[in-house]
Amino acid sequence: MRIKLNDDRKADIARALSGFFQDEFDEDLSEFRALEVVDFMLRQIGPSQYNQAIADARGFLAEKLDDLDTEFHEAEER
């Protein structure tokens, strides 16, 4: 699966990256290079971050489903 960002979000991240390079390294990063770095990072860490988010969401939902038994279970008469 390839993770994609819309053009506006990608441009925002590239601008932030260019600003970071200027502030931290006193180095200009062209728009083209910044966009290439964004694409590289998406390919390198995007899938693992996506998978971690899915695992976190699955764990959260499993926890909430387990709570259903304790929160809403009604005792039955025998």
Domain count of the fold of the chain:
1
Q: Is residue 77, in this structure, part of any structural domain at all?
A: no
| pLDDT(1) > 60 | no
| Residue 45, in any domain of the structure | yes
What is the span of the domain harbouring residue 42?
A: 7-72
Evaluate whether residue 60 is within a structural domain: yes
Report yes or no on 55 lying in a domain: yes
Nearest 10 degrees: Cα torsion 66, 69, 70, 72: 130
Is residue 62 domain-resident?
yes
Spatial CA neighbour of 17 closest among 5, 29, 4: 29
Quote the distance between the C-alpha of residue 70 and its chain's center: 32
Percentage of the chain lying above the pLDDT 90 cut: 74
Residue listed under structure tokens 């819309």 = 6
In a domain, 2, yes or no: no
pLDDT higher than threshold 70 for residue 58 = yes
With respect to residue 11, please indicate whether it lies within any of the assigned structural domains.
yes
Q: Does the pLDDT of residue 4 top 70, yes or no?
A: yes
pTM of the predicted protein model? 0.73
Residue 51 lies in a domain: yes
